[in-house]
Structure 1
Amino acid sequence: MAEEQPPPLPAPEIAEIATRDIAQLTGRKPLGATSVMPTDDGWAVEVEVVEDRRIPSSTDMLALYEVVLDLDGELLSYRRTRRYVRGVGDGGSAQS
């Protein structure tokens, strides 16, 4: 008899794992996952992070990180894909 595979982790749990991993790796506070997408062999999650707190908070520097996890929620890779000032819409220029 074939061994049953456990069900894959649900998207909300994957998002939680990715935000926790980014907090541990960067030492910065994540605001949350902005997207969770299944891939052929795992998950790609985008996590928004406060990179630099400023006064007023509307001028905080934020960053978007792409986190790649396998089907079991194990971290495979991460990278910062965008850096921007809070409140600047998608039309704003990204800063690296």
Structure 2
Amino acid sequence: MTDDKNGGTAGATTGRRCDVATAMRRASDQLADLLQCEPGSVSAVKGTGEGWSADVEVVELERVPDTMSVMATYHVELDAEGALVAYERVRRYARGQIDRR
């Protein structure tokens, strides 16, 4: 496990709910370690009754040009202290793709 910027360990149990910035960092870091993929960004994070849920964008396949790289969105669940408890890939797309709504 890696140290966070607040001097704690990402998986340490403190008995306290972490803040949103720490939850975002831990979601990205833990998923990247698990998948061995480069994290792109955290596109959503929200508190739940049990902890946090977040959507993390990762680079799954690096391509040249980079607009052809394959990205994925993973939905992750964290406990109140920021430890990853579940994840699921919900979308794959080319980096240059724009959602149309």
- Common fold, TM-score beyond 0.5? yes
Match of 1:43 among 43, 52, 62: 52
- Alignment partners' CA distance in 2, 1:71 and 1:88: 34
**Which 4+ runs in 1 deviate beyond 6 A?**
none
Identity %: 34
How far is 1:87 from its partner? 1.6
What corresponds to 1:68 in structure 2?
Answer: 77
Query: Which consecutive unaligned segments of at least 5 residues does structure 2 have?
Result: 1-13
Residues 6/25 of structure 1: CA separation in 2 closer, same or farther (3 Å cut): closer
Please tell me whether Structure 1 or Structure 2 has the larger radius of gyration of its CA atoms: 1
Match of 2:25 among 10, 13, 16: 16
Structure with larger RCO (C-alpha < 8 A, sep 6+): 2
- Alignment partners' CA distance in 2, 1:23 and 1:71: 20
**CA RMSD after TM alignment:** 1.7
Count how many residue pairs are aligned between Structure 1 and Structure 2: 88
Q: Normalising by the residue count of structure 1, what TM-score does the alignment of the two structures yield?
A: 0.84
Match of 2:68 among 56, 59, 66: 59
What corresponds to 1:77 in structure 2?
Answer: 86
Q: Normalising by the residue count of structure 2, what TM-score does the alignment of the two structures yield?
A: 0.80
Query: Which consecutive unaligned segments of at least 5 residues does structure 1 have?
Result: none
